[in-house]
Amino acid sequence: MTLTVLTDNQIRSLLENLTVAELEGFRVALASALHEHSTGIQGDTPIHQQPERVSIHNTTTGATTLFMPSCSSAGHGIKVITLSSAANQSPTPAPPTITTTTIGNNNANAITTPSTSTSKPVIPPTGAITLFTPHGTPLGLLHARTLTAFRTALASLCLVQRRTAPIKTLVAFGCGEQAYWHVRLTLLSRAHEVQRVVFVNRRVSEGFRKVVERLKSWREEGCEFMPVTRDEEGYEERVAQAVREADVVFCCTPSTEPLFDGRVLLGGAEEKGRLIVAIGSYTPEMREMPRELIERAVSGEGGEGDAGVVVVDTIDGALKEAGELIETSVRPEQLVELGEIVMLKRADNNTVSTKKGHLAQWLQTGNVIYKSVGVGLMDLSIGMHIIQFAKEKGVGTHVQGF
């Protein structure tokens, strides 16, 4: 058996040079795995397994390490990834607040003071994905940083591609790898449809400049890249305007409070539909989306009163880890898993209309919220695919007889 080892630079080079057809190959691989897992078409004995992830916290470094195992017919995998804990990643310092809501295992009425200490450096998501054959033989060792951002954006792309409404303006909160890949894959899949990309960040940092430079090196003509930063005058108004004008909003920060005022999108019946993707928050204490938008999306009973739909990568994981959904007390029957809808080909397909009337139509033109907390099956399916892809391209280290 051959063990394939891929560094982060090698993975980034492979993924940044994908053609549209090659990107679609990756998307189909991911969509198929999620569809089989969510719809239970694996037979009486499920092959796809997605246990709950386990986390540990290092008080010395302030880092959290996540362990995400998974299993499919292709093999087994586990991702081990480390990143700064939420308190050390807070996008903006804030005064102490008194929390009176019980979330998860946290005690109510606790005073919370956001950390502003710089003694613990921010750790960007980093780690590795180890893949095995169905019999347990080691198959691959892949750096996880770029691959994690790519596979998360690829899952979001499944919903971006379903939009028949024009996508002219993108808004991305954050300027890290997740924001970069969400914007890049949208630009690639929607050709020259996108005219403007607005990045909302704490400041115009070197990271922002690098992200824009990477995007412009690939798609410069016909697309405007604009920053909105917290240190500029009229920040709140500029954010509100950007969100109102957006066709797709990407929330890619580990925020502990909503990134924008939800009331700016509660404008009435004439309001256009939007796709809002939130992938940065991953614990009960975190939240990126305003509560009002989630309440609107789950309150409709169908027909004209139906104001949106909430899609998640996994219902069990989202209800345990997504702070926005926990805070709003969303019920499982109010959510739709991405795997249930990702293989739909036609708007008049009725196979997924059981959870929410006219779902296919909403996915195309309506208000859609996608909340992802990440599942190991994403890493497993994309990891297996990129191993084969790297072999075809002659990239990576291939250890014979491992």
Q: Residues near 343 by Cβ (< 8 Å), separated by ≥ 6?
A: 31, 32, 35
Q: Is it true that 3-84+123-144+377-399 and 148-374 share their CATH fold?
A: no
Which CATH superfamily includes the segment(s) 148-374? NAD(P)-binding Rossmann-like Domain (3.40.50.720)
Quote the mean pLDDT of the chain.
Answer: 83
Q: Residues near 125 by Cβ (< 8 Å), separated by ≥ 6?
A: 81, 82, 83, 144, 145, 148, 149, 177
pLDDT of residue 4: 97
* pLDDT tens-digit map of 330-371: 999 999 999 999 876 544 444 444 444 478 888 888 889 999
> Angle at which helices 206-216 and 177-189 pack, to 10 degrees?
20
Rounded distance between C-alpha atoms, residue 124 and residue 284, angstroms: 20
Indicate the range of 97-111, 150-164, 236-250, 377-391 predicted with least confidence.
Answer: 97-111
pTM: 0.85
CATH code linked to domain 3-84+123-144+377-399? 3.30.1780.10
Name the more confident of 72 and 343: 72
Rounded distance between C-alpha atoms, residue 295 and residue 297, angstroms: 5
Name the more confident of 99 and 130: 130
Structure token digits, residue 216: 């412009």
- 52: pLDDT strictly greater than 90: no
* End-to-end Cα distance, the chain: 6
Domain borders along the chain are: 3-84+123-144+377-399, 148-374
CA distances from 60 to 106, 107, 113, 239 (A): 22, 24, 19, 36
- 112: pLDDT strictly greater than 50: no
pLDDT of residue 219: 66
pLDDT of residue 146: 95
Indicate the range of 102-106, 169-173, 387-391 predicted with least confidence.
Answer: 102-106
Sequence letter at residue 332: P
In the block, residue with structure tokens 């539909």: 273
Tell me, letter by letter, the H, E, C secondary structure of the chain.
Answer: CCEEEECHHHHHHHHHCCCHHHHHHHHHHHHHHHHHHHHCCCCCCCCCECCCCEEEEECCCCEEEEEEEEEECCEEEEEEEEEECHHHHCCCCCCCEEECCCCCCCCCCEEECCCCCCCCCCCCCEEEEEEECCCCCEEEEEECHHHHHHHHHHHHHHHHCCCCCCCCEEEEECCCHHHHHHHHHHHHHCCCCCCEEEEEECCCCHHHHHHHHHHHCCCCCCCEEEEEECCCCCHHHHHHHHHHHCCEEEECCCCCCCCCCHHHHCCCCCCCCCEEEECCCCCCCCCCCCHHHHHHHHHCCCHHHCCCEEEECCHHHHHHHCHHHHHCCCCHHHEEEHHHHCCCCCCCCCCCCCCCCCHHHHHHHCCEEEECCCCHHHHHHHHHHHHHHHHHHCCCEEECCC
C-alpha torsion sign, points 262, 264, 269, 274: negative
* pLDDT tens-digit map of 190-223: 878 999 999 999 887 787 888 988 998 776 677 8
pLDDT band at 88 (very low <50, low <70, confident <90, very high): low
> Angle at which helices 20-39 and 376-393 pack, to 10 degrees?
150
Nearest to 256 by CA among 375, 149, 114: 114
Q: Residues near 262 by Cβ (< 8 Å), separated by ≥ 6?
A: 289, 290, 291, 292, 293
Q: Residues near 330 by Cβ (< 8 Å), separated by ≥ 6?
A: 294, 298, 310, 319
- 86: pLDDT strictly greater than 90: no
pLDDT of residue 84: 80
Chain-centre distance for alpha carbon 107 = 28
- 119: pLDDT strictly greater than 80: no
pLDDT of residue 222: 79
pLDDT band at 45 (very low <50, low <70, confident <90, very high): low
Q: Residues near 122 by Cβ (< 8 Å), separated by ≥ 6?
A: 84, 88, 89
Indicate the range of 86-100, 108-122, 129-143, 318-332 predicted with least confidence.
Answer: 86-100
pLDDT of residue 48: 79
pLDDT band at 121 (very low <50, low <70, confident <90, very high): confident
